[in-house]
């Protein structure tokens, strides 16, 4: 027995050494950690063996680049450094990725100065902003993970997956902004981003490989179940949703004591929402800052920047407090910039507010709400528009008791977004148009993102009801190659066509997407006539649990404490088999 214990302890020690080593060499573009892998002494400068040092360096580089899809770019970014110490190699790789992204941002500014096409010029401005977001995510990774802790390795890897996924999405969004623009700015930016996008992909591949390795090693103290689920998130759970916030959520408007009150009639400190947001002070802790927005229609464009973490907006009801805009693609604004409200601050929360874009169906893409922030919650909110109403851009998002309306791709983006007990209202489109509820934008197979719709309803809006037989409506279509959408425990009205899903163009993404329906009900939920693409999947009850908010986005760690209604797992655990 003692021998077995000693052997097990040795296996554990060697496994941890191996895991630490893999971690150091894997995160080329995301993090640096303070563990030294160099246990054979071959890179000791005291040896003076230059050739041996080079050989050792290349051996380490090849090990780093092994699981990547773009091995040549990986090797090229590291070779010539003369380094064989893994920590130093990681630093070299990180700097290479940062340099390329910053160069792309600078390129966008240079091109904008000479660009004559207004649409392309606007796209270039968007690229600069998106590259800044990318750099921020990588810098945040360095800051958070600089102090390496093997006991938190699983959570660390989950964090990195979402940060790198966001970096990939931001670069892809930059290129998407050139749709219908003239000139060669699009090709020049594509060229400028080519290597940085590949290095971002490589970094995600490395972290995914490490997660798989940890799952197989069965190391005590490492949460294998956590690593094996395609989740994401921050380990640093703050006390941002304490008793005080829960009282705010539960209390009536008259009893709430927010930090700032906004009122159109002048009864608050400010008359506009953006003015109030601009006055939010810098805080030294994670205490939630609450802004109460009294009833009224606020015709303004609201930007909640990345630095305004732990901010909460409370309205008087989604039909009483409404933020309204009408920017749109037809009038010359890129989709990314059409948003009436844009949220980039993590730990953001909104309740009892309506968000709308009134541009109408003839103006094509017109976003009411764009969200690219981690750990955000929307409770009892409404988002209304037509095409591209809700842009769930990146990171973790949770929507509870919300109503979203639109026509074409009216819930789209590459976030890991869960909708629980929400209503999706399909509106009347233009003649000869068809309705599509979702369009997920997962570009890479390793990205830990998906649209998950649970215990919700797909129904026609009032304007569609009288003419619903004149228009065809679908659950979704694959915007990007690895689009992933899961609909479960939900009511599907007969407005949804028997085929269920619609191709984007030809056979694009039909083999690589991941679409599944589980335990749905209603006249439109039957699956016997659904499309037979390779990407249409059937899942077991056990697999369905992996897509619940408690598991997929680790919701128990940050949603539960807000006090809003929330179900961690399946909402109908005793329901029968799927349709």
Q: Are 102 and 131 in contact (CB under 8 A)?
A: yes
Instruction: Please tell me the distance from the alpha carbon of residue 368 to that of residue 63, in angstroms, as a whole number.
Output: 46
Q: Helix or strand or coil: residue 371? A: strand
Report residue 80 as tokens: 């010539």
**Whole-number Å distance between alpha carbons of 439 and 479:** 5
Burial class (CB within 10 angstroms; exposed 0-12, middle 13-18, buried 19+) of 503? middle
Which tokens go with 207? 């972290």
What pLDDT score does 32 carry? 32
Q: Residue 220: its pLDDT value, please?
A: 57
Domain ranges of the chain: 10-24+56-217, 283-562
CATH of 283-562 given 3.40.950.10, 3.40.50.620, 2.160.20.10, 2.20.25.90 = 2.160.20.10
Nearest by Cα to 477 from 447, 507, 456, 498: 507
Annotated catalytic, 409? yes
Does residue 408 contact residue 444 with C-beta atoms inside 8 Å? no
Question: How far apart, in whole angstroms, are the C-alpha atoms of residue 267 and residue 261?
Answer: 8
HEC profile of 260-320: EEECCCCCCCECCHHHHHHCCCCCCCCCCEEEEECCEEEECCEEECCCCCCEEEECCCCCC
Backbone φ/ψ region at 563: left (φ over 0), alpha (ψ -120 to 50), beta: left
Residue 415 confidence (pLDDT)? 98
Distance CA 23, CA 34 (A): 10
The DSSP H or E segment spanning 453 is strand 450-454
CA distance 384 to 199: 38
* Rounded to 5°, angle at Cα 382 from 380 and 383: 145
- CA dihedral for 483, 489, 490, 493, sign (positive or negative): positive
Per-residue pLDDT tens over the stretch 275-320: 999 999 988 778 899 999 999 999 999 999 999 999 999 999 999 9
Distances (CA, A) of 495 to 179, 232, 251, 382: 31, 34, 38, 21
Q: Which SS3 state, helix, strand or coil, does residue 217 take?
A: helix
Residue 229: per-residue pLDDT = 55
Taking the chain, what is the end-to-end CA distance rounded to the nearest angstrom?
52
Tell me what pLDDT residue 466 has: 96
Q: Residue 526's closest CA among 502, 567, 484, 496?
A: 496
Alpha carbon distance 368, 259 (integer Å): 26
Fold classified for 10-24+56-217? Butyryl-CoA Dehydrogenase, subunit A; domain 3 (1.20.140)
Burial class (CB within 10 angstroms; exposed 0-12, middle 13-18, buried 19+) of 432? exposed
Question: Would you put residue 465 in left (φ > 0), alpha (ψ -120 to 50) or beta?
Answer: alpha
Given a contact cutoff of 8 angstroms between Cβ atoms, the answer to whether 120 and 185 are in contact is yes
**CA pseudo-torsion sign 124, 170, 371, 147:** negative
Alpha-carbon span 125 to 118, nearest angstrom: 11
Secondary element (H or E) of residue 450: strand 450-454
357 Cα distance to chain centroid? 22
Is 214:157 a contact under the CB 8 Å cutoff?
Answer: yes
| pLDDT computed for residue 249 by the predictor | 56
Structure pTM? Answer: 0.86
Instruction: Tell me which of 176, 352, 388, 409 is the catalytic residue.
Output: 409
6 CB contacts (<8 Å, ≥6 apart)?
Answer: none
φ, ψ for residue 25, nearest 5 deg: -80, -20
Given the structure tokens 């990205």, which residue do they identify? 447
Which residues, in sequence order, are bridge partners of residue 355? 323, 383
Beta bridge partners of 501: 476
Residue 270 and residue 48: Cα distance in Å, rounded?
69
The token pair that represents 4 in the structure block:
């077995």
Cα(499)–Cα(526) distance, integer angstroms = 9
Digitized pLDDT (tens) for each residue of the chain, 579 residues in all: 444 554 455 444 444 444 444 444 444 333 333 333 333 444 444 444 455 555 777 888 888 788 889 999 988 988 887 766 555 565 566 677 778 999 999 999 999 888 888 889 999 999 999 999 999 887 776 665 555 566 667 667 777 788 889 999 999 999 999 987 777 899 999 999 999 999 889 888 877 777 776 666 655 556 656 656 554 333 333 344 444 455 555 555 445 589 999 999 999 999 999 999 999 998 877 889 999 999 999 999 999 999 999 999 999 999 999 999 999 999 999 999 999 999 999 999 999 999 999 999 999 999 999 999 999 999 999 999 999 999 999 999 999 999 999 999 999 999 999 999 999 999 999 999 999 999 999 999 999 999 999 999 999 999 999 999 999 999 999 999 999 999 999 999 999 999 999 999 999 999 999 999 999 999 999 999 999 999 999 999 999 999 999 999 989 988 988 889 999 999 986 644 445
Tokens 């619903």 -> residue: 468
Give dist(CA 413, CA 272) in Å, integer: 28
Other beta carbons within 10 angstroms of residue 476's beta carbon come to 24
DSSP-assigned beta bridge partners for residue 292: 261, 314
Q: Which own/partner pairs from 248-252 qualify as long-range (CB within 8 Å, at least 24 positions apart)? A: 248/290, 248/312, 248/314, 249/351, 249/379, 249/562, 249/563, 249/564, 250/563
Alpha-carbon distance 248 to 251, whole Å? Answer: 5
What is the pLDDT at residue 152? 67
């Amino acid at each position: 027995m003692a021998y077995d214990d000693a052997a097990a302890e040795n296996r554990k020690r060697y496994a941890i050494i191996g895991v630490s080593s893999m971690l150091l060499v894997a995160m080329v573009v995301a993090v640096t950690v303070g563990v030294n892998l160099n246990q054979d002494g071959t890179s000791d400068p005291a040896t003076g063996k230059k050739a041996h040092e080079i050989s050792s360096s290349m051996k380490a580089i090849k090990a780093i680049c092994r699981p990547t899809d773009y091995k040549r770019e990986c090797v090229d970014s590291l070779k010539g450094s003369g380094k064989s110490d893994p920590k130093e190699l990681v630093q070299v790789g990180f700097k290479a990725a940062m340099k390329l992204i910053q160069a792309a941002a600078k390129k966008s500014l240079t091109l904008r100065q000479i660009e004559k096409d207004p649409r392309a010029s606007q796209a270039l401005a968007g690229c600069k902003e998106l590259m800044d977001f990318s750099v921020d995510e990588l810098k945040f990774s360095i800051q958070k993970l600089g102090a390496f802790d093997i006991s938190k390795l699983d959570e660390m890897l989950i964090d990195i997956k979402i940060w790198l996924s966001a970096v990939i999405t931001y670069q892809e969004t930059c290129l998407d902004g050139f749709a219908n623009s003239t000139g060669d700015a699009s090709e020049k930016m594509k060229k400028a981003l080519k290597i940085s996008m590949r290095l971002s992909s490589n970094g995600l591949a490395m972290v995914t490989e490490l997660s798989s390795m940890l799952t197989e090693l069965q190391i005590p103290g490492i949460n294998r179940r956590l690593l094996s689920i395609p989740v994401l998130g921050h380990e640093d759970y703050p006390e941002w949703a304490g008793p005080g916030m829960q009282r705010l959520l539960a209390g009536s408007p008259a009893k709430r004591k927010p930090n700032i009150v906004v009122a159109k009639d002048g009864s608050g400190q400010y008359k506009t929402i953006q003015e109030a947001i601009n006055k939010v002070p810098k805080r030294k802790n994670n205490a939630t800052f609450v802004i109460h927005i009294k009833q009224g229609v606020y015709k303004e464009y609201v930007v909640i920047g990345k630095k305004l973490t732990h901010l909460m907006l409370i309205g008087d009801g989604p039909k009483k407090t409404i933020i309204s805009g009408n920017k749109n693609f037809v009038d010359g604004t890129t989709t990314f910039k059409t948003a009436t409200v844009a949220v980039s601050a993590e730990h953001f929360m909104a309740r009892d507010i309506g968000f709308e874009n009134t541009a109408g169906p003839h103006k094509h893409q017109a976003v009411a709400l764009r969200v690219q922030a981690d750990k955000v919650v929307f409770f009892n909110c409404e988002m209304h528009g037509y095409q591209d109403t809700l842009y769930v851009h990146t990171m973790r998002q949770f929507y509870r008791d919300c109503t979203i309306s639109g026509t074409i791709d009216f819930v789209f983006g590459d976030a890991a977004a869960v909708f629980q007990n929400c209503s999706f209202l399909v509106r009347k489109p233009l003649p000869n148009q068809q309705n599509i509820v979702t369009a997920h934008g997962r570009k890479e197979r390793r990205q830990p993102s998906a649209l998950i719709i649970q215990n919700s309803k797909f129904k026609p809006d009032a304007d569609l009801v009288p003419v619903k037989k004149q228009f065809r409506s679908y659950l979704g279509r694959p915007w990007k190659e690895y689009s992933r959408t899961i609909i479960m425990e939900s009511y599907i009205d007969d407005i949804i066509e028997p085929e269920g899903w619609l191709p984007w163009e030809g056979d694009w993404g039909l083999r690589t997407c991941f679409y599944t329906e589980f335990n749905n009900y209603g006249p439109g939920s039957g699956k016997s006539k659904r499309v037979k693409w390779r990407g249409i999947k059937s899942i077991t009850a056990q697999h369905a649990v992996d897509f619940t908010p408690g598991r997929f986005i680790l919701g128990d760690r940050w949603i539960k404490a807000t006090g809003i209604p929330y179900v961690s797992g399946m909402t109908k655990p005793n329901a029968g088999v799927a349709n």
